[in-house]
Amino acid sequence: MAVTVDTPVTLRVLQLTDSHLGEQPGERLLNLDTDHSLSAVLDLIEQEQDGCDLLLATGDIANHASVAAYQRFQRLTQHVAPEILWLPGNHDDPALIEQALGQPLVKSATLAGWLIIMLDSTARGQVGGSFSEQELHYLQQQLDNAGDSHVLLCLHHHPVNIGCAWLDEQQVSNADDFFAIVDSCPQVRGIVWGHVHQQLDSQRKGVQLMSTPSTCVQFAPASERFKLDRLNPGYRWLDLHADGSIASGVSRVTAVDFDIHYDNADGY
């Protein structure tokens, strides 16, 4: 499915990722109440954002896939933007997301000269990422038909090394195939993802690469093994301009103390 939305020339897009909501409200991840942390991020958005055109939910919305968690996320975020695009993470089940939404996942959106493509980088039963042949074919088809639109690609897993040894074992395993398609399309201006629970802003062949903090716990950059960061939860904003340029940044919750077991070495 695709959606077309009439919007201003500059699109304000927000990204929420890796909320890890439990089936029941108040469930905890490394002792953090993930509903509480998501609510704190949503409060921050309400304080900082004077409306936006689109919200991206880029995976691991639930900690253990459940319809109740997805319905709760939908209810909590429905006021943020007129349109929300979802994609699954390795903790999610696409069929349960669709059951919660009552419709198939929307795979792309065309908004004021931009084509936003939601890609599934999950592989059943695996923590790490991989694109199926079907998904790569879908990407190629979408880019072939992009016309003059600028393109933003969204996925869950990271397609490039981020310098975290344990996380880089989980990056998209066939990223070379992915980039072979991306590199052939000059309209691709940005790639944004979740999964790594940390911020990254870099470039590859003129394409902006962006990862986004989780709305719950954060992973420490440049770590060999699983390690938590003490930075607070946050979200990413993106301004997609008519000339194809992207302005983007990350905003984090302040003045809130979260009760997290930072010394847990067993992962999550």
Residue 260 lies in a domain: no
Residue 56 lies in a domain: yes
Q: pLDDT tens for the chain, 268 residues: list them.
A: 555 555 458 999 999 999 999 999 999 999 999 999 999 999 999 999 998 999 999 999 999 999 999 999 999 999 999 999 999 999 999 999 999 999 999 999 999 899 999 999 999 889 999 999 999 999 999 999 999 999 999 999 999 999 999 999 999 999 999 999 999 999 999 999 999 999 999 999 999 999 999 999 999 999 999 999 999 999 999 999 999 999 999 999 998 999 999 987 566 6
CATH number at 105 reads 3.60.21.10
Instruction: Give the angle subtended at the CA of 63 by the CAs of 60 and 65, to the nearest 5°.
Output: 85
Number of structural domains in the chain: 1
Residues whose CB is less than 8 angstroms from the CB of residue 202 and which lie 6 or more positions away in sequence, other chains included: 160, 208, 209
Residue 257 lies in a domain: no
SS3 (DSSP) at 114: strand
Residue entry with tokens 């002792």 = 31
Residue 204 lies in a domain: yes
